[in-house]
Amino acid sequence: MNSVSTANHWLWNFVVTMVTAVALSTIGYRYYAIYAVISALIPIVVFFLYPETMNSGNLELLNTVFQDAPSPWDIVTMAWKLPEGELADEGNRNESAKKAVEKISQKYW
């Protein structure tokens, strides 16, 4: 998988290098506005499409959310409603995780 990501990185570096020369000669300094817009959109995309998993505390609950979400778009919404910092007991991890996900799913739908 590392080779695929390296090849992808090199490919996009090549594309940016080839496009930048043409774009700068064609539209000039306004080409940098494209980079400004992309840079402004990245935090918005990350906020809405990448779930925060740092403070969840319960990895089984988080795993269940990823498995049971109706669609990939619903994972972030369900992750927002996870309790923060709760640790499950050793004996009933799966049951408590399933109950919490059902509770979150009922609130969501």
pLDDT digits (tens, 9 = 90+) for 34-83: 989 999 999 999 988 888 777 666 777 888 888 888 888 888 888 877 77
The answer to whether residues 97 and 63 belong to one domain is yes
Domain contains 53: no
pTM of the model: 0.55
What are the pLDDT digits (tens) for 90-106?
445 566 667 776 776 67
Which range marks the domain in which residue 80 is found?
Answer: 59-108
Quickly list H helices, 28-84.
Answer: 31-49, 59-68, 74-80
Do residue 41 and residue 78 come from a single domain? no
- Taking Cα atoms as reference points, which of 99, 108, 105 lies closest to residue 60? 99
Question: Number of folded domains in the chain?
Answer: 2
In a domain, 87, yes or no: yes
60 in Cβ contact with 97 (< 8 Å):
yes
Question: Which residue has tokens 């009933």?
Answer: 92
